[in-house]
Amino acid sequence: MSEEILDLTEKLLHYNELFLKNYREGRETGVTQDFHGVIKPFADEVKAMNDKWNKAMKIWLSTANTQYLHLKQIDTTSAHIDQLSVQSFFPETSKSRFLNTHRAIEFILSEVEKEVKK
Protein backbone atom coordinates (compact mmCIF):
# COMPACT_ATOMS: atom_id res chain seq x y z
CA MET A 1 0.00 0.00 0.00
CA SER A 2 2.73 2.51 0.91
CA GLU A 3 4.61 1.80 -2.31
CA GLU A 4 1.48 2.58 -4.31
CA ILE A 5 0.92 5.79 -2.35
CA LEU A 6 4.54 6.87 -2.87
CA ASP A 7 4.27 6.19 -6.59
CA LEU A 8 0.97 8.07 -6.96
CA THR A 9 2.24 10.96 -4.81
CA GLU A 10 5.36 11.33 -6.95
CA LYS A 11 3.23 11.34 -10.10
CA LEU A 12 0.95 14.01 -8.63
CA LEU A 13 4.00 16.10 -7.68
CA HIS A 14 5.12 15.82 -11.31
CA TYR A 15 1.66 16.90 -12.50
CA ASN A 16 1.80 19.83 -10.07
CA GLU A 17 5.03 20.96 -11.75
CA LEU A 18 3.35 20.58 -15.15
CA PHE A 19 0.52 22.81 -13.91
CA LEU A 20 3.06 25.53 -13.15
CA LYS A 21 4.80 25.05 -16.51
CA ASN A 22 1.49 25.22 -18.41
CA TYR A 23 0.44 28.30 -16.47
CA ARG A 24 3.71 30.14 -17.08
CA GLU A 25 3.63 29.30 -20.79
CA GLY A 26 0.05 30.53 -21.03
CA ARG A 27 0.89 33.77 -19.21
CA GLU A 28 3.91 34.42 -21.46
CA THR A 29 2.15 33.68 -24.74
CA GLY A 30 -1.40 34.67 -23.80
CA VAL A 31 -2.63 31.63 -25.72
CA THR A 32 -5.37 29.38 -24.33
CA GLN A 33 -5.04 25.75 -25.45
CA ASP A 34 -7.80 23.86 -27.27
CA PHE A 35 -10.25 22.59 -24.65
CA HIS A 36 -11.24 19.27 -26.25
CA GLY A 37 -7.87 18.55 -27.85
CA VAL A 38 -5.50 19.41 -25.00
CA ILE A 39 -7.14 20.52 -21.74
CA LYS A 40 -9.83 17.86 -21.29
CA PRO A 41 -7.58 14.83 -22.05
CA PHE A 42 -4.92 16.19 -19.66
CA ALA A 43 -7.47 16.94 -16.92
CA ASP A 44 -9.02 13.46 -17.33
CA GLU A 45 -5.59 11.82 -17.01
CA VAL A 46 -4.82 13.83 -13.87
CA LYS A 47 -8.27 13.11 -12.40
CA ALA A 48 -7.82 9.35 -12.82
CA MET A 49 -4.48 9.48 -10.98
CA ASN A 50 -5.86 11.87 -8.36
CA ASP A 51 -8.88 9.65 -7.65
CA LYS A 52 -6.62 6.60 -7.14
CA TRP A 53 -4.40 8.63 -4.79
CA ASN A 54 -7.37 9.95 -2.81
CA LYS A 55 -8.83 6.47 -2.35
CA ALA A 56 -5.47 4.94 -1.37
CA MET A 57 -4.77 7.78 1.06
CA LYS A 58 -8.11 7.36 2.81
CA ILE A 59 -7.44 3.65 3.31
CA TRP A 60 -3.89 4.32 4.48
CA LEU A 61 -4.88 7.15 6.85
CA SER A 62 -7.48 4.94 8.53
CA THR A 63 -4.69 2.67 9.79
CA ALA A 64 -1.67 4.99 9.92
CA ASN A 65 -0.79 7.02 12.96
CA THR A 66 -0.02 10.43 11.47
CA GLN A 67 0.14 13.59 13.48
CA TYR A 68 0.02 16.11 10.65
CA LEU A 69 -2.16 14.54 7.94
CA HIS A 70 -5.94 14.40 8.10
CA LEU A 71 -8.74 13.29 5.78
CA LYS A 72 -9.93 16.86 5.20
CA GLN A 73 -6.47 17.82 3.88
CA ILE A 74 -6.53 14.90 1.45
CA ASP A 75 -9.95 15.92 0.11
CA THR A 76 -8.92 19.57 -0.18
CA THR A 77 -5.68 18.68 -1.94
CA SER A 78 -7.56 16.44 -4.38
CA ALA A 79 -9.99 19.24 -5.15
CA HIS A 80 -7.09 21.66 -5.70
CA ILE A 81 -5.37 19.22 -8.06
CA ASP A 82 -8.57 18.85 -10.10
CA GLN A 83 -8.95 22.64 -10.28
CA LEU A 84 -5.36 23.38 -11.30
CA SER A 85 -5.34 20.66 -13.96
CA VAL A 86 -7.79 22.86 -15.86
CA GLN A 87 -6.94 26.37 -14.61
CA SER A 88 -3.27 25.96 -15.50
CA PHE A 89 -4.16 26.35 -19.17
CA PHE A 90 -5.94 29.69 -18.75
CA PRO A 91 -3.64 32.73 -18.63
CA GLU A 92 -6.38 34.87 -17.08
CA THR A 93 -6.37 32.76 -13.89
CA SER A 94 -5.37 34.86 -10.87
CA LYS A 95 -1.61 34.54 -10.43
CA SER A 96 -1.54 34.78 -6.63
CA ARG A 97 -4.43 32.33 -6.22
CA PHE A 98 -2.85 29.89 -8.66
CA LEU A 99 0.58 30.04 -6.99
CA ASN A 100 -0.87 29.71 -3.48
CA THR A 101 -2.88 26.65 -4.51
CA HIS A 102 0.17 25.19 -6.25
CA ARG A 103 2.25 25.62 -3.08
CA ALA A 104 -0.49 24.10 -0.91
CA ILE A 105 -0.62 21.01 -3.14
CA GLU A 106 3.16 20.71 -3.09
CA PHE A 107 3.27 21.02 0.70
CA ILE A 108 0.66 18.32 1.38
CA LEU A 109 2.12 15.92 -1.20
CA SER A 110 5.60 16.40 0.30
CA GLU A 111 4.19 15.75 3.78
CA VAL A 112 2.55 12.57 2.50
CA GLU A 113 5.92 11.41 1.13
CA LYS A 114 7.62 12.07 4.47
CA GLU A 115 4.92 10.28 6.48
CA VAL A 116 4.76 7.23 4.20
CA LYS A 117 8.55 6.85 4.22
CA LYS A 118 8.64 6.75 8.05
- pLDDT string in tens for the chain (118-residue length): 789 999 999 999 999 999 999 999 999 998 889 999 999 999 999 999 999 999 999 999 998 888 889 999 999 999 999 999 999 999 999 999 999 999 999 999 999 999 988 8
Amino acid making up residue 25: E
| Residues in Cβ contact with 51 at an 8 Å cutoff, skipping those fewer than 6 apart | 78
Per-residue CA distances from 98 to 4, 7, 57, 75 (Å): 28, 25, 24, 18
pLDDT at 112: 94
pTM, two decimal places: 0.94
Name the 3-class secondary structure at 69: coil
| Residues in Cβ contact with 110 at an 8 Å cutoff, skipping those fewer than 6 apart | 13
Name the 3-class secondary structure at 83: helix
pLDDT at 67: 84
